A and B are shown apart, each in its own frame.
Chain A
Amino acid sequence: MNWTTIWVTGKLAGLTSMALLLIGLPIAYWLTFSRWRWKFLVESLVALPLVLPPTVLGFYILVVIGPQSPIGRFYTDLVGHPLPFSFHGLLFASILYSLPFAVQPFVAAFEQVDRKLIEASWTLGVSKLMTFLTLIVPLSMAGLITGMILSFAHTLGEFGVVLMVGGNIEGVTRTVSIEIYDEVQALNYEDAAKTSALLLAVSYAVLLLVYAVNRRVWSVWPQK
C-alpha cells in the first residue's frame, strides 16, 4: 500500500467535507427557508452532481478553471500556477462533486426543526443568525454529521472527476481509487486487493457511523 496516496486521499476528503460544512450550511438554510418561487432551479442545480457522469462534471470544471477562462487566468496570476492538475483544483472539483451529499442531509435536518421553535426564538428578540447557531444547528446535529460523513466518504471514492481535473500526480493528486485502477492495469492484483479492502472497510465504517448517528432506538444502549 502507498501511504502517500492514502494521505492525499484522506486530506482531500477531510478538507472537502470541512469546506462543505461552511458552504453547505448557508445554501441549505436558504433552500429550506426561502419562499422564492424559482427555488427549484437552485435545488436541481445542487442535485446535479448526483446524476451527471463525473467525466462531464470534470470536463466543465476543467473548462471553467483552465487557463482559457478568466477565472483560471485570475487564479494563475494570483498564485503563480494554474488550478487544473493541482491539489487545490482537485479540492475545488471535489467540493462541487460532493455538494449534494452534504446539502441534502442538511436540508432534511433543517426541515425537521419545528417552525414554531424558530418563530419563538425570533419573538424572543434573537436574530436570525443567532437563532440559526443556537437553535437550528444544535437541533440538526445528526443531519449535519450525516452530511459531513457522506461527503467525506463520497470524496474518498471519487474517480472520474479526479482523473479529469487532478490528473495522476504522485503525492499531489493521485488518490486511492486511481491507484487501484493503475495497479489493476499493471496486473498488480495483490496491491489492488489490499487497497480495495482498505477502501471497502473505511467506507463501511463511515456508513455505520451515519446510521448509528441517525438511529432512533438504541437497543444496544437502552435509555434508562
Chain B
Amino acid sequence: MASEIVLDIQKTFSDRAAVTARLHLPLDPPSATILFGPSGSGKTTLLRCLAGLERPDAGTISFNDSVWFDAATHVQIPPQARRLGYMSQDYALFPNYTVAGNIAYGLTGLSAQEKKARVEEVLHLLQIEQLSQQRPAQLSGGQQQRVALGRAIARRPQLLLLDEPLSALDAPTRARLCKELRILLTQLAVPSIIVTHDWTEALALGDFMAVISEGRVMQTGTPLEIFSRPRHADVALVVGIETVIQGTVKAIHNELATVQVGSVDVTALASPGLDADVILCIRAEDVTLELTGSGETSARNHLRGTVHTITPLGALVRVTVDCGFLLTALVTRSALSDLKLAVGSDVRAAFKAGSVNLIPR
C-alpha cells in the first residue's frame, strides 16, 4: 500500500496571513519531506495541523487510509491516536523526568521489562546511554535534541514530524547533528516531515520538498530540483538565487576538495568527514565574470563558458553561464556593458573555493 499524506486545509488567523495549503506528499519509500519557507510562512501551522494540535477551519487531512481531519464531517482525530513522533523547535523535554524517564514517558501499555528494554535500545541508538539519569536542565542543546528525538521515536511512530529540528543549536553542532539526523532517519525507515527555513538543512535532509510562502504551497519537488530550477520568481526569492548542482569529491588535498561536476572540476573548501557525494551551492553574488585571457586572481575557480541567458533585475543582472554546468552570476548592469556581454559571448566565471558550499548527501 502506498504511504501518503493528502492535505487540503484552510486556517485563518486574526494576526497573520491565512494558511491555504494543498499538498500531496508521497511517503513511499520512507522518505524525508521538507516544508521549506521563511519564518511566518505557515509551515509550522501545517505541521501542527498534521499533529492534531491545531484545528484547520476547513478542509481535510488524510494519512494513508485514515482520515485525520475532515471539517465537513467534524472528524478530528486527537494527537494521541495519530501515532506520531512530534518534536517541537525547543524540544519541550519534561523537566520533572530524567532522560530515561522522558524516553519512557510515551511507552504506555508495555510491561516494565519491555519498557526498560525499549528505553535502553533508544538510548543506545542515539548514543546517549551515559545521560540516562540526567535531568533535561543539565544537558547541552545537542544532547537535548537527541533526547527529544529519542522520545519521539521510542513509540515506533508511523510518521515523524520535526519542527526546525536543528535551529536551536549553535552552528558547529548543527552541522554535525544534521548529518547524524540524516543517517538516523534512513536507519529508522519512518517517513518524516521536517520544517526548516535553512536551505543547507533542506538539501542535506530532504528527499522531497514543498516551498511554503505566505501560507501557500509554491512548488513541490526534490530539493535539488527546486533550488536549481525554482519555478517562479517568488520561489527563487524564497530559496535565494543559487547555483545548486550535484558533484562527486575526487580528491582532498590541503583541506581543498576537488569536486567533479559533469566534465568540470571545481575547487572547494573541504569540511572534515566529507563524503564522496555532495551538492554544491554557489551564491550568485559570489561569482564574478571576466573576459577570457585576463590575468590570475585569488579565486581558485576559473571556468570558461558561454553566456547562456541574461535576465535584468533592476540595477543588477543575472547572467547564467554554461561552463559544463549552468552557473548563475549576479553582476551590475554597468559591468555587463563594460564587458560587452551578450548571449553566446565567451566569458570566464570566477569564484573562490570558500564560496562553494558543499552539502553531503
- A residues whose Cβ falls under 8 Å from a Cβ of B: 114, 116-117, 119-127, 130, 134-135, 138-139
Partner of A125 from B92, B94, B108 at Cβ < 8 Å: B108
Contact A127 B88 (CB under 8 A): no
Shortest B153–chain A CB gap in Å is 11
Please judge, given known A-B contacts A135-B96, A138-B96, A139-B96, whether A125 and B80 are in contact too, CB under 8 Å. yes
Give complex CA distance A138, B84 in Å: 25
**B344: which A residues are within 8 A, CB to CB?**
none
Secondary structure at the A interface, as helix, strand, loop or mixed, is: helix
A-B contact pairs, 25 of them (CB 8 A): A116-B88, A116-B90, A116-B92, A117-B92, A117-B94, A119-B53, A119-B79, A119-B88, A120-B86, A120-B88, A121-B94, A122-B53, A122-B79, A123-B51, A123-B52, A123-B79, A123-B82, A123-B84, A124-B105, A124-B155, A125-B81, A125-B108, A126-B80, A135-B94, A139-B96
The answer to whether B352 has its CB under 8 Å from any CB of chain A is no
How many contacts A-B (CB < 8 Å)? Answer: 59
Asked if B151 and A124 sit within 8 Å, CB to CB, the answer is: yes
Cβ of B83 under 8 Å from chain A: yes
Contacts of A123 in B (CB 8 A): 51-53, 79-80, 82, 84-86, 161
Interface SS of chain B: helix, strand, loop or mixed? loop
A117, A121, A123, A126: most-surrounded residue (chain B CB, <10 A): A123
Give A135 to B96 CA distance when docked, in angstroms: 8
In whole angstroms, how far apart are the Cα atoms of A138 and B106 in the complex?
A: 17
Q: Which residues of B contact A122 (CB under 8 A)?
A: 52-53, 78-80
From known contacts A138-B96, A139-B96, infer whether A126 and B88 are also in contact, taking CB-CB under 8 Å: no
Contact residues in A for B262 (Cβ distance below 8 Å): none
Instruction: Write out the residue numbers on chain A whose beta carbons fall within 8 Å of the beta carbon of B79.
Output: 119, 122-123
Name the residue of chain B whose CB is nearest to the CB of A130: B108
Contact with A along B113-136 (1 / 0, CB 8 A): 000000000000000000000000
- A135: B residues at CB distance < 8 A: 94, 96
Among A116, A122, A125, A127: residue with most chain B CB under 10 A: A125
**Whose C-beta in chain A lies nearest to the C-beta of B54?**
A119
Contact B92 A114 (CB under 8 A): yes
The minimal Cβ–Cβ distance linking B150 to chain A, given in whole angstroms, is 12
- Chain A residue numbers with a CB within 8 Å of B324 are none
The CA-CA distance from A94 to B53 in the complex, in Å, is 40
Min CB distance A192 to B, Å, is: 47
B53 touches A124 (CB 8 A): no
Q: Complex: how many Å from CA A138 to CA B135?
A: 15
List, in ascending order, chain A residues with CB within 8 A of B85's CB. 123
In the docked arrangement, what's the CA distance between A114 and B94, Å? 10
- Docked-complex contact A124 and B95, CB < 8 angstroms: no
Query: If A119-B53, A119-B79 touch, does A124 touch B106 (CB 8 Å cutoff)?
Result: yes
Q: Are A126 and B96 in contact (CB under 8 A)?
A: no
- Chain A residues whose C-beta falls within 8 Å of the C-beta of B105 in the assembled complex: 121, 124, 126, 134
- What is the minimal beta-carbon distance from A46 to any residue of chain B, in angstroms? 27
Centre residue among A120, A121, A134, A135 by max chain B CB count within 10 A: A120
CA distance A143 to B95 in the complex (A): 17
- Give the chain A neighbours of B108 by CB distance below 8 A: 125-126, 130
**Alpha-carbon distance A120/B88, docked complex (angstroms):** 8
Q: Which of B88-114 contact A (CB under 8 A)?
A: 88, 90, 92, 94-96, 105-106, 108
CA A51 to CA B237, docked complex, whole Å = 59
- In the assembly, what is the distance between CA of A119 and CA of B161, in Å? 13
